Chains A and B, each alone.
Chain A
Amino acid sequence: MSFGKKLNVVGRRLRKVDGLQKATGAAVYADDIKLPRMLHCKILRSPHAHARIKRIDFSRCLEHPGVVAVLEGKEIPTRYGVIPWTPDEQALAADKARFVGDEVAAVAAEDELAAEEALELIDVEYEVLPPLIDPAEALREQRIKIHEGSKQGNISKHVELSFGDVAAGFDRCAAIADETFYYEGSTHTPIEPHCAIGNYDADGNLTVWSSTQIPHYVHRELSRVLELPEARVRVIQPFLGGAFGGKSDPFSLEFVVAKLSMKTGRPVKCLFTREEVFWAHRGRHPMKMRFKVGLSETGRIESVDSKILIDGGAYSSFGLVTAYYAGQLLTGPYQFGAYHFDSTRVFTNKPPCGPKRGHGSVQPRFAFEVALDMAAEKLGLDPIEVRRRNFIGENVKTINGQLITSNGFLRCLDLVEKASGWKERKGKLGFGRGLGVAGSMYISGTAYPVYPNEMPQAGIQVKLDRSGKVTIFSGASDIGQGSNSVPAYLIAEEIGCDPRDCLVVVSDTDLTPVDLGAYSSRVTFMLGIACVEAGRKLWAQISAAVAEKWGVEAARIEGSLGTIFVPETALSMSFKEAVRLAEAKFGTLGATGSYRTEKLGGDYRGGTIGASPAYSFTAHAVEVQVDPETGIWTVERVWAAHDCGKALNPTLVEGQIEGSVYMGYAEAAMEEMTYLPSGLHRGPSLLDYRIPTSLDTPELTAMIVESGDPKGPYGAKEAGEGPLHPVIPAISNAIHDAVGIWLTELPFHPGKLLRLLREKDKPRAPVPPVEERISAAGESRA
Chain B
Amino acid sequence: MLTLPPFEYHSPTTVEEAVALLRQHRGQVKVIAGGTDLVPNMKHRLFTPAHVVGLKAIAGLDRVAEEGPDIRLGAMCTIAQLARDPLVQKTLPSLAAAASQIAGPQLREMGTLGGNICLDTRCVYYNQTYFWRKALGFCLKKDGTVCHVVQGGQRCVAAASNDTVPVLMTLNARVRAVGTNGLREIPIAELYVPDGIVNTVLAPEELVVEVRVPRPEGRLIAGYQKLRVRASIDYPALTIAVAAKIDPADRAEWIRVVVSALGARPHLVGGLERFRGRRFDQGLAAEVSQVAYRQCHPLTNINVDPAWRREMVPVFVRRAFARAQLSGSGYFEKEGAQRTSDSPPPPNTPTQQTR
Contacts and interface: CB of A to CB of B under 8 A. Distances in A.
B1 A273 contact: yes
A768 B293 contact: yes
B307 A774 contact: yes
A693 B342 contact: no
B298 interface: yes
A749 B231 contact: no
Contacts of B293: 768
A780 B155 contact: yes
Interface in A554-606: none
B308 A751 contact: yes
Given A695-B231, A776-B150, A776-B153, A273 B2 contact: yes
A630 interface: yes
Interface in A667-686: 669-670, 676, 678, 680, 682-685
A751 B350 contact: no
Interface stretch (A60-68, A86-94, A240-248, A631-639): A631-639
B136 interface: yes
A766 interface: yes
A133 to B, nearest CB: 14
Contact of A779 (B230, B297, B352, B353): B297
Given A636-B349, A779-B194, A680 B3 contact: no
> Which secondary structure dominates where chain A touches chain B?
loop
A357 interface: no
A198 to B, nearest CB: 19
A59 interface: no
A382 interface: no
A112 interface: yes
Interface stretch (B211-219, B245-253, B259-267, B273-281): B259-267
B129 A47 contact: no
B15 interface: no
A79 B51 CA distance: 47
Contacts of B264: 779
> Which secondary structure dominates where chain B touches chain A?
loop
Contact of A634 (B135, B153, B297, B349): B349
Contacts of B230: 670, 690, 692-693, 695-696
B124 A688 contact: yes
Interface residues of B, number: 63
Contacts of A687: 127, 233-235
A539 B161 CA distance: 66
Given A687-B233, A693-B232, A779-B150, A680 B136 contact: yes
A113 B305 contact: no
A607 interface: no
Nearest to B308: A751
Given A636-B349, A684-B132, A690-B229, A754 B308 contact: yes
A140 interface: no
Nearest to B103: A687
Contact of A680 (B135, B157, B294, B297): B135
Given A629-B315, A695-B351, A273 B297 contact: no
B310 interface: yes
Interface string A350-383: 0000000000000000000000000000000000
A605 B281 CA distance: 71
Contacts of A631: 308
Contacts of A694: 232
Determine which residue in B134, B194, B297, B306 has the highest number of CB atoms from chain A within 10 A of its CB, and name it.
B297
B292 to A, nearest CB: 10
Contacts of B355: 695
B352 A116 contact: no
Nearest to A193: B1
Interface string A754-769: 1000000000001110
A87 to B, nearest CB: 27
B294 A698 contact: no
B38 to A, nearest CB: 15
A779 B347 CA distance: 33
Nearest to B3: A113
Nearest to A637: B349
Contacts of A100: 135
B191 to A, nearest CB: 16
B131 A749 contact: no
Contacts of A465: none
A100 B133 CA distance: 12
Contact of A751 (B129, B233, B307): B307
Contacts of B353: 627, 632, 634
A770 B298 CA distance: 13
Contact of A630 (B1, B267, B306, B312): B312
Contacts of B129: 273, 275
A271 interface: yes
B351 to A, nearest CB: 4
Interface in B1-46: 1-3, 5-6
Given A695-B350, A751-B305, A782 B104 contact: no
Determine which residue in A48, A193, A627 has the highest number of CB atoms from chain B within 10 A of its CB, and name it.
A627
Contacts of A772: 294
Given A670-B230, A696-B230, A749-B308, A778 B351 contact: no
B75 interface: no
A629 B298 CA distance: 19
Interface in A270-306: 271, 273-275
B301 to A, nearest CB: 9
B336 interface: no
Interface in B135-172: 135-136, 149-151, 153, 155, 157
Interface of A: 45, 47-48, 100, 112-113, 116, 193, 271, 273-275, 432, 625, 627, 629-636, 669-670, 676, 678, 680, 682-685, 687-688, 690, 692-696, 698, 749-751, 754, 766-768, 770, 772, 774-776, 778-782
Given A636-B349, A767-B311, A782-B262, 13 more contacts: A275-B129, A625-B347, A629-B342, A670-B230, A688-B303, A695-B232, A695-B351, A695-B355, A776-B153, A776-B299, A779-B263, A780-B194, A782-B295
7 contacts: A273-B1, A630-B312, A680-B135, A684-B132, A690-B234, A779-B263, A782-B259
